[in-house]
């Protein structure tokens, strides 16, 4: 999780969506400002809908950081530690078995 | 490792060669049995879905054309094509048609039928294909009938796959591919037995 001072509204870049959640003490706290006005940057990550997955492996082949594997030939598994949320797998999945979600 | 990887990524070439060979000489259709037997054996003997995931030439061809050559419209498959009953239903239908083809082969073997030297597309349309029957007397007629029947199945499923690749996502065929469904089922059964 990255903490940073961010924009007041969620914004979208070409490849990722950043969202606003929660609030933490901002950097201006050092100089006496204590309004809780900043937010945590949280990235979406791929999540597999196992019931829909046909274990074709298309997602494995497009993932730039090798965070997907096929569990015993039954469904795909994402390693949330490695996933950078690029959503390439979501786009390629022919079974619509991947959603991009902010992990709880 | 990288040599190994590049070789594995070129399996789509075999798909292209397969269909070309069958165009000139139908007897090569027999080679397609490899696409039936290999994935099943691999999943039975613990290789899980390695065939689909790494070796299937057809899957690679769809990725290459759909993603690489950008031929795919990249739309979502309609829900019913993704549903379990359609996938299993298509698998059963495909197997029934396979057995039907074996009966046609048997008819020739037992001398009660005559050779149909055409490729039957979508189990309905006979496309004349006599020129590819060039083995002469050296191969028994039943083996040639089987080759025609099998090539029909392979070509029909290739066309379905190409249409799915263009209209939907590149590998949409893999959602209802009978071999994909069968290997995933085998993996599920193996896993249930293990637990
Ligand atoms: S691309 Fe989709 S259906 Fe294929 S293995 Fe990945 S999650 Fe499963
Ligand atoms: S979102 Fe990107 S990084 Fe995450 S699993 Fe999918 S392809 Fe890999
Ligand atoms: S699902 Fe069928 S076409 Fe797709 S990779 Fe597996 S065997 Fe090949």
Mean pLDDT score, B130-146: 91
Residue B146's nearest CA partner among B55, B45, B58, B36 is: B36
Nearest-CB residue to A72 (from B67, B77, B191): B191
Number of folded domains that form chain B: 1
Residue B136, phi then psi, degrees to nearest 5: 65, -140
Output DSSP code: residue A12: E
Residues of A in contact with B48 (CB under 8 A): 70, 72-73
A17-24 CB contacts, 8 Å cutoff, 24+ apart: A17/A44, A17/A100, A18/A42, A18/A43, A19/A44, A19/A102, A21/A102
Ligand 2 pocket, residue A68 CB under 6 Å? yes
Please judge whether B43 and A56 are an interchain contact, meaning their C-beta atoms are less than 8 angstroms apart. Answer: no
Ligand approaching nearest to the C-alpha of A85: 2
What domains are defined for chain A? 1-43 (no CATH), 44-104 (3.30.70.20)
Residue B3 binned pLDDT confidence (cut-offs 50, 70, 90) = low
* Residue of higher predicted confidence among A18 and B79: B79
Ligand approaching nearest to the C-alpha of A87: 2
d(CA A37, CA B178): 55
Query: For residue range B7-55, what is the model confidence (pLDDT) as tens digits?
Result: 889 999 999 999 999 999 999 999 999 999 999 999 999 999 999 999 9
Instruction: Work out the percent of chain B whose per-residue pLDDT is above 90.
Output: 89
Residues of B in contact with A92 (CB under 8 A): 67, 169-171
d(CA B7, CA B2): 8
Query: For residue range A41-94, what is the model confidence (pLDDT) as tens digits?
Result: 468 999 999 999 999 999 999 999 999 999 999 999 999 999 999 999 999 999
Residue B194 binned pLDDT confidence (cut-offs 50, 70, 90) = confident
How many CB atoms neighbour CB A56 within 10 A? 28
Residues of A in contact with B8 (CB under 8 A): none
Query: For residue range B178-193, what is the model confidence (pLDDT) as tens digits?
Result: 999 999 999 999 999 9
Residue A75, phi then psi, degrees to nearest 5: -155, 165
Say yes or no to pLDDT of A5 above 70.
Answer: no
Query: Taking a contact as any Cβ pair under 8 Å apart, which residues of chain A between 52 and 81 contact chain B?
Result: 52, 54-58, 60-61, 70, 72-74
The complex scores an ipTM of 0.90
Domain boundaries, position B171: 3-194
Residue B5 binned pLDDT confidence (cut-offs 50, 70, 90) = low
Residue A36 binned pLDDT confidence (cut-offs 50, 70, 90) = very low
Output DSSP code: residue B96: H
Give A51 to chain B, closest Cα distance, Å. Answer: 9
Mean pLDDT score, B71-75: 97
Q: What is the pLDDT of residue A3?
A: 38
Q: What is the pLDDT of residue A42?
A: 64
Residue B17's nearest CA partner among B8, B6, B29, B7 is: B29
Ligand 2 pocket, residue A46 CB under 6 Å? yes
Q: What is the pLDDT of residue B4?
A: 62
């Amino acid at each position: 999780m990255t903490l940073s001072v961010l924009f007041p509204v969620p914004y979208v870049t070409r490849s990722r969506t950043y969202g606003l959640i929660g609030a933490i003490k901002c950097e201006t706290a050092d100089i006496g400002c204590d309004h809780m006005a900043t937010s945590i940057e949280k990235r979406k990550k791929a999540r597999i809908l196992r019931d829909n997955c046909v274990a074709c492996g298309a997602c494995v082949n497009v993932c730039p950081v090798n965070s997907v594997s096929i569990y015993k030939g039954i469904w795909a598994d994402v390693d949330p530690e490695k996933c950078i949320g690029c959503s390439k797998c979501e786009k390629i999945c022919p079974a619509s078995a991947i959603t991009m979600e902010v992990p709880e | 490792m990288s040599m190994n990887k590049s070789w594995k990524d070129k399996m789509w070439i075999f798909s292209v060669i397969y269909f070309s060979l069958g165009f000139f000489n139908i007897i090569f259709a027999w080679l397609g049995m490899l696409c039936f037997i290999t994935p099943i054996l691999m999943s039975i003997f613990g290789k899980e879905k390695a065939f689909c995931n790494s070796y299937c030439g057809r899957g690679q061809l769809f990725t290459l054309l759909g993603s690489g050559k950008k031929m795919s419209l990249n739309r979502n498959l309609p829900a019913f094509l993704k549903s379990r009953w359609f996938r299993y239903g298509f698998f059963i239908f495909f197997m029934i048609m396979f057995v039907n083809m074996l009966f046609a082969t048997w008819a020739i073997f037992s001398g009660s039928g005559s050779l149909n030297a055409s490729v039957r597309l979508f189990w309905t349309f006979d496309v004349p294909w006599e020129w590819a029957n060039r083995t002469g007397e050296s191969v028994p007629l039943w083996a040639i009938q089987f080759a025609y029947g099998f090539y029909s199945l392979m070509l029909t499923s290739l066309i379905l796959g190409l249409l799915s690749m263009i209209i939907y996502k590149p590998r949409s065929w893999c959602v209802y591919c009978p071999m994909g469904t069968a290997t995933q089922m085998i993996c599920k059964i193996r896993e249930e037995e293990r637990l």
